[in-house]
A = this chain, B = another copy of it.
Amino acid sequence: MTAEKFALESADLFATDTEAARQKRRASVDAPLLAAVRGEKPSRRPMWMMRQAGRSLPEYREVRANVPMLDACFDDERVAEITMQPVRRHDADAAILFSDIVVPLKAAGVDLDIVPGRGPVVAQPVQTMEAIAQLPTVEREQLANIEKGIGHVLEELRDDQVLIGFAGAPFTVASYLVEGGPSKNHEVTKSLMYSQPETWHALMRALTPTIVRFLQAQIEAGVDAVQLFDSWAGYLTSRDYREFVAPYSHAIFEAIRPYEIPMIHFGVGTGELLGDMAVAGPDVVGVDWRVPMDSAAARIRAALDHHRPDAKPEDKIKALQGNLDPAVLFAGDDVIAAHVKRIAAEADRAIDRGQAKGHIFNLGHGVLPTTDPDAITRAFEEVHKS
């Protein structure tokens, strides 16, 4: 099975219930984030921050005190409380489901843990066809508590606020499995990819259904949008991304597309990959802080033009998400305001030029744990004024 041929043939794996999912969703069609994705003028510039639910907030540290990360991820009350904390505090336009990219693997029974100060650690690294054959595919009932947590969040969110579901993309999930934990250079992963491509593709094929099911569970529980995080994609060249990664991320977007909810795709340090990630099929491309929003839009438009020369003009552009450097939140109100203005102007320029549909303000990476929560609140205020 080569990458080119990959598709989720086993449609019966995925009992897509788009109508049930639609009935659970509570956000108004006019919610700023949804309007921005459609390319309409939102009532205010929508904003959320990656890792907005997390260690920057004292109320988060309180809820997590003595509770291991994965325990919190499977506790519906804690999931809801942590997800809502930043929305209440900062008046965010979106909640991002509190979870982790290894949650569906853990749910499926893979022996792994999240070690404080280190990250996800896998008991038995997965590097052979035999180990891949033994990887379980997650079952919907193993995700029941996450669906329950989503239900609690939906009860509290205003209807102009959306809940964003969450999954790690197969490359990033695979990297943890192959390396056995976080890696600085991903050399074991890349070595497997380069020297045993059939094994690599088998691993990606094995992970894709679990990621699809994890997203489906969230969507059918009522999330209004999803973000597929490919945290480590920026360690790949465009060539490798297209050969070893894109077919599977694409298959995930295709599996989720029938739900007709916004699909966001993000990775760190992906300046070289923005076009490829757009071609993979999301509605919104998240942009790292290193690339100005108007440059990002131009790269995406050029890639879609190249890959879909016959598409309608509106199908050759995406909405953009980003891209304040999280370090700017340490530099005081005036600096934050100046950067917010610049980014808003860069995004608006892309929209005015017809190279982007709309703009969801976000960071260009996650909130750093030592960030002052008041600085975050003021950044939200600045964006909502912009």
**Which A residues fall within an 8 A CB radius of B?**
185-188, 190-191, 194-195, 234-237, 239, 269, 271-272, 289-292, 325-328, 330-332, 334-335, 365, 368, 370
Give every chain B residue within 8 A of A327 (Cβ-Cβ): 185-187, 190-191, 194
Give every chain B residue within 8 A of A326 (Cβ-Cβ): 185, 187
CA distance A331 to B193 in the complex (A): 9
The chain B residue sitting closest to A195, CB to CB, is B331
Contact among B185, B289, B334, B370 for A237, CB-based, below 8 A = B289
A182 → chain B closest CB, angstroms: 12
Q: Which of A236, A290, A291 has the most CB of B within 10 A?
A: A290
The oligomer's copy count stands at 2
Give every chain B residue within 8 A of A289 (Cβ-Cβ): 237
Give every chain B residue within 8 A of A188 (Cβ-Cβ): 330
Interchain CB contact under 8 A, A331 and B190? yes
A92 → chain B closest CB, angstroms: 21
Give every chain B residue within 8 A of A269 (Cβ-Cβ): 234, 269
CA distance A188 to B330 in the complex (A): 7
Interchain CB contact under 8 A, A368 and B187? yes
CA distance A181 to B44 in the complex (A): 41
CA distance A64 to B345 in the complex (A): 53
CA distance A237 to B271 in the complex (A): 11
A275 → chain B closest CB, angstroms: 13
CA distance A320 to B302 in the complex (A): 27
CA distance A203 to B219 in the complex (A): 51
CA distance A234 to B268 in the complex (A): 12
CA distance A291 to B188 in the complex (A): 21
The chain B residue sitting closest to A364, CB to CB, is B237
CA distance A194 to B324 in the complex (A): 13
Interchain CB contact under 8 A, B191 and A331? yes
A306 → chain B closest CB, angstroms: 15
